[in-house]
Amino acid sequence: MYKRIRIMKRLAFIMMALLLALMPATAQNYRDSRYYNSRTDRLDYRYNYGSPYYGFRIGPAFTFVNSDDSRLDGGDWQTGLNVGVVAGIPLTDSAPLYLETGLSYIEK
């Protein structure tokens, strides 16, 4: 029984080694990246600074009400939801500086 386990462990190790050896390395395949600049044939993270962006934001909201009037005290944390849409307009082509505007709903 122990000999069978050793053989299975060796077989599993050999198969894992073959899988890792035959698996193509895609970490260096950056030509499909959105930062790839075909003119310089390199990654350029400043490439496309001048384009506006649009997005959707969602997340939690945490509020705690504390007041001098005891009738207004919430007493504990309240959780809610933030939902919104945003748009960013670039202010310069040489730096990632945007004027961002949006519309948000915050649940308290």
pLDDT surpassing 60 at residue 3: yes
83/104 Cα distance (integer angstroms): 6
With vertex at residue 103, the alpha carbon angle to CA 101 and CA 105, rounded to the nearest 5 degrees, is 145
pTM here is 0.46
Q: Band of the pLDDT at 24, cuts 50, 70, 90?
A: low
With vertex at residue 22, the alpha carbon angle to CA 17 and CA 28, rounded to the nearest 5 degrees, is 115
Q: What is the pLDDT of residue 103?
A: 97
